Amino acid sequence: DTGVSQDPRHKITKRGQNVTFRCDPISEHNRLYWYRQTLGQGPEFLTYFQNEAQLEKSRLLSDRFSAERPKGSFSTLEIQRTEQGDSAMYLCASSKTGGNQPQHFGDGTRLSIL
Amino acid sequence: DQQVKQNSPSLSVQEGRISILNCDYTNSMFDYFLWYKKYPAEGPTFLISISSIKDKNEDGRFTVFLNKSAKHLSLHIVPSQPGDSAVYFCAVPGSARQLTFGSGTQLTVLP
């Protein structure tokens, strides 16, 4: 049983560069979520996909952030013109549709902005 | 405006004793509550949940209690084991089932 996979695990980049993260959800899961976690805080919701449709975005998702889920399978999260404040752990989660299905999280991508 | 609050950043207990982790929420309309556990360098792992129609849910050593009048839930772990040492988050789902998490409690179980 493969879980949620995220790539890369770590990313170090200079301020102003663009970065892209990938998430492969559990295969039969229709729902996919992106969260961001900073030190000492719980994960904060960024955006949500139901299959390939992006149905919800948080106010945290500025116009420098974009997420896609082509064909309703894997998802990518891109950050353009990175800033110091973007340094965080970016978590992906997936779940089945219907009721209160628990979300299964990947191990995250840690982004460090120099 | 924090919808979910965990006021204790850390908790230490002796192995074999009970661990009690607390969580307060603000919105009486919340109908479902979850607890996640997180080890360093790993993503959160679902632990246990409770519906608002219940006041208790038990799964092995883990029990979650819900006090709706006080808008309070707690997670009891008994007996506590060193492997339970982790950060514990309570969470509530929103309209799109996106989770709002508390800030977490670091549990340390001392051998």
- Which chain A residue is nearest to residue B39, measuring alpha carbons? A107
Which residues in chain B have Cβ-Cβ distances shorter than 8 Å to A95?
97
Rounded to a whole number of angstroms, the distance from the CA of A16 to the nearest CA of chain B is 26
CA angle B50, B55, B56 (to 5 degrees): 65
- Which chain A residue is nearest to residue B32, measuring alpha carbons? A100
Q: What is B29-51 written as a DSSP string?
A: T--EEEEEEE-TTS--EEEEEEE
Contact A75, A29 (CB under 8 A): no
- Which chain A residue is nearest to residue B41, measuring alpha carbons? A107
Rounded to a whole number of angstroms, the distance from the CA of B37 to the nearest CA of chain A is 11
CA distance B94 to A82: 29
Contact B104 A48 (CB under 8 A): no
In a structure prediction context, what are the per-residue pLDDT tens digits for chain B, which is 111 residues long? 678 999 999 999 999 999 999 999 999 889 999 999 999 989 999 999 999 999 999 999 999 999 999 999 999 999 999 999 999 999 999 888 899 999 999 999 999
CA distance B47 to B90: 10
Which residues in chain B have Cβ-Cβ distances shorter than 8 Å to A55?
96
Q: Is the pLDDT of residue A1 over 70?
A: no
CA distance A47 to A30: 14
Q: What is the pLDDT of residues A48-98, one digit of tens each?
A: 999 999 999 998 888 999 999 998 899 999 999 999 999 999 999 999 988
CA distance A28 to A32: 11
